[in-house]
Amino acid sequence: MKSVFDIIIVGAGPIGLACALEAKRKGLQYLIIEKGALVNSLYNYPVNMTFFSTSEKLEIGGVPFVSNTIKPTRNESLEYYRRVTIASGLSLHLFEEVKTISQEEELFTVHTSKDKYTTSNIIIATGFYDLPFLLNIPGEALPKVTHYYKDPHFYAFQKVLVIGASNSAVDAALETYRKGAEVTMVIREKDIGERVKYWVRPDIINRVKEGTINAFFNSTVAAIRENEVDINTNDGLVTIANDWVIAMTGYQPNLTFLEKIGIKLSADEVRKPLYDTDTHETNIKGIYLAGVICGGMDTHSLFIENSREHAVKIIDNILHHKMAVL
């Protein structure tokens, strides 16, 4: 017969790992379940990405993060979180997706793509990087369109359309341009995003000003075809030749999953989950939220650096309940 876990942690991102480290430190029996690779969201970041945060702000469990420069790269972060996982001997199952959660009295059953587990508590730390915002336009499903950008070499000497003006869009535009791509940006706003990394923003602005990267501001993509793209601009519909579309339109948390298991969301457009800010326990006793998922659609308010404290709050509350029962 399988044992009953004190905690099942859904998501092996930095905050899920932080929760596991705290659970292990406090002697609780836990298991992390992750549908993808270790720190899957970070793995899917662009290969050459540099974090906005400094390395110490990305640390978890009090383990130092030493990087070559003040602001670490994607590869350094993958190495760091992997080494933390190994050194701490964290218990986790990768490439196993949580499908449903059921409850009987005070115990939960977590049903996954591979098995099922019984637990007294659940921590959901699933982030927001798995579900891109779709354009919902003709041609978006073509193989030439991607909502994730990895490496610039693939686009060398190609006609590339980059949609968006966030950090990821700007990185994609600059990197593919420097590999020889003919880059066009389509930007809904009137300017490059204010949140773009301060050492990158002047670069993209200057490339647009000099015309080496073409940009349509106050514009949207109307349709995508095999060799062309239609763009709605202030001057009317413009059609340009195109080989690849990199749609950096942003991402959203899987709030449908929360609703399906009974967690209440706010009625406004933010759809923020209902939870106690002191303990992070939701309206369902025994189910907790950690990390970016706590902000609902407001994905810009929570980061690794200001979500690490969630682990301590949650584990202390679970331990308090556990001791009260004994």
Nearest to 253 by CA among 96, 149, 126: 126
Q: Tell me the per-residue pLDDT of 195-242, one tens digit each, with 9 for 90 and over.
A: 898 899 999 999 999 999 999 999 999 999 999 999 999 999 999 999
What pLDDT is stored for residue 222 in this prediction?
A: 98
At residue 46, does pLDDT exceed 90?
A: no
CA separation, residue 300 to residues 91, 127, 163, 297, 305 (Å): 30, 12, 19, 9, 12
Whole-number Å distance between alpha carbons of 116 and 52: 38
Domain boundary among 225, 247, 269: 247
What CATH number corresponds to the domain at position 199?
Answer: 3.50.50.60
Based on the fold, state whether residues 125 and 14 are members of the same structural domain.
Answer: yes
DSSP state of 169: H
Whole-number Å distance between alpha carbons of 319 and 20: 13
Q: Tell me the per-residue pLDDT of 99-135, one tens digit each, with 9 for 90 and over.
A: 999 999 889 999 999 999 999 999 999 988 878 999 9
Whole-number Å distance between alpha carbons of 254 and 258: 7
Confidence of residue 74 (pLDDT cuts 50, 70, 90): very high
Based on the fold, state whether residues 265 and 167 are members of the same structural domain.
Answer: no
Range of the domain at 206: 134-247
Domain boundary among 211, 230, 247: 247
- 3-class SS of residue 267: coil
Q: Is 168:46 a contact under the CB 8 Å cutoff?
A: yes
What pLDDT is stored for residue 326 in this prediction?
A: 60
CA separation, residue 175 to residues 48, 132, 249 (Å): 9, 21, 18
From the number of C-beta atoms within 10 Å of its C-beta (0-12, 13-18, 19+), residue 66 rates as: exposed
What pLDDT is stored for residue 105 in this prediction?
A: 86
Based on the fold, state whether residues 68 and 125 are members of the same structural domain.
Answer: yes
From the number of C-beta atoms within 10 Å of its C-beta (0-12, 13-18, 19+), residue 304 rates as: buried
Domain boundary among 186, 216, 247: 247
Based on the fold, state whether residues 51 and 119 are members of the same structural domain.
Answer: yes
